[in-house]
Structure formats: structure tokens, C-alpha cells
Amino acid sequence: AATLYVVATPIGNVCDISLRALHLLALADAIACEDTRNTAQLLSRYGINKPLIAAHQHNEREAADKLVARLQAGERIALVSDAGTPGVSDPGAKIVDAVRAAGLNVMPLPGASAAITALSGSGLINDQFYFVGFLPAKAGQRETALRALEQIPATLIFYEAPHRIIESVQALASVFGSQRQIVFARELTKLFEQIHRCPLGEAADWLKNNAHSEKGEYVLLVEGAPSNADDDLQEARRILGILLEECS
């Protein structure tokens, strides 16, 4: 039946695609994609040859109308982005919204996402995480955005472009202080994968001493704010300390 399949694709290692994703890509009448050359390359790796429809950041609304019309005509369409999960810091959400609003069927297929891959390899122990995605490029706006996250007691997940990594890390340290842990997850699933954890106070030095730090793709994870429970415990300890001093 007419369905929009939202298909996650690899974030580096071409093998990170599910059997079901490959099956549905091969079954679809057409594939809507962010960059037709990029997707054609992935498909050719798996011997799949399908009509491709460009659906990127700059034409997403128009593409959505076209896709809705094709679905209404009974077609099965797959939607992919350049890497990872469509709609996660990538085009796709407007298309899904339009297709759902038209009362048509949407089926998401799970797969790679850089944020979740980085989180699973970070070892930051917290039941909660907060996905921020890309920070604003301008320093003032970036600081405002970071201040708004300062009190959140969840692991914070950022995407960042390599040419902005140094200034972003400086901004993270200046807003969150030097004590919180940061995890750099660079080039995940690729040949030069690197996962490094250190206090924010040491992060700038680590970048400086890393010859390739301004190349490659990064996810940054920052330890969340200490929770209120921790504050309460510290306060109890402080009062206990005063009482013990009084008693001695």
C-alpha cells in the first residue's frame, strides 16, 4: 500500500544499514533524498537502481507536495538523508508532517544516528539525555543558547562542524565550567574513529595537541548539571560538618 518509508542510512561505515532498509529501498517506486549523487552511491553499493527525487533543505515544502501527490496515486516512496536518520538535524520532518497531514501512511525504519551512536560509546552515566544538535554559529547567540542549557541535569548532545570545534569547546568550558566531563566522538564508524573523554578544562589543550582536530565529523557530549538530589546531599553534608564541629 502507499507508504512513506523513512529510512536511516549509514553515518560512515556502509555496512551500517539494516536488511529491512535494503529490502524496502529495493521495493520502493522512488527514493526521495537530500543529495541524489550521495544516495546513488549508497544504492549502487547494494545493486539498487531507483528513480531519485531531490528533497533537500531548500525545496522541502515543494518536494513534500510532490511526494504527497505520488503517494496519493498509490506509490511507495522511501525517504533518506545524506547520513543517519532523516529529520535529525537533517531535512525530512516537513515531508513527514505533510504526508501525515494528508492522512497517508508513514513508516519509520530504525538505523544509524550519530547522536545515539556517540552516546552509547561515551560512558557518561545518566538516564537522561538532551539532544541539542547544532549550536548557532554566531558567538553571542551561541552563548545565549548554552546559558539556557546550564541547569539541565541530562547529558547534552551537540553536533558541530570541524572548523568551529575550537571556538565551540571554548564556549562550552566558559559557560559550563572546567569540571564537567566532555566526550569528543569523532569520525564514528570510520577508519579514524576517535572517542576521547576529559574534563572541559582540558578540552582546548586536547584539541590543540591533536593534529587532525579541525577535520572530520564530531559529536560532542557534555555531562549534565549536578541534579538537585546531589545539591541536597551536599547541603546535608555541609550541615553535618558544622554539627560535628560544634560537638567536638
**Binding residues vs ligand SAM (CB under 6 A):** 11-12, 81, 83-85, 88-90, 113-115, 159-161, 185-190, 217-219
Residue 176 vs 184, nearer CB to ligand SAM:
184
Q: Quote the least distance from Cβ 2 to ligand SAM, whole Å.
A: 25
Cβ neighbour number for residue 192 with a 10 Å cutoff: 10
> Which grid cell is 43?
544504492
* C-alpha dist (Å) from residue 242 to 6, 239, 246, 248: 59, 5, 6, 10
Q: Quote the least distance from Cβ 31 to ligand SAM, whole Å.
A: 16
Residue 12 vs 224, nearer CB to ligand SAM:
12
Q: Quote the least distance from Cβ 107 to ligand SAM, whole Å.
A: 17
Residue 36 vs 89, nearer CB to ligand SAM:
89
Q: Quote the least distance from Cβ 111 to ligand SAM, whole Å.
A: 9
3-state secondary structure 114-145: HHHHHHHHHCCCCCCEEEEEECCCCHHHHHHH
> Which grid cell is 166?
575550537
> Which grid cell is 80?
533518506
Residue 24 vs 70, nearer CB to ligand SAM:
24
The conformation of residue 9, written as its DSSP 8-state character, comes to B
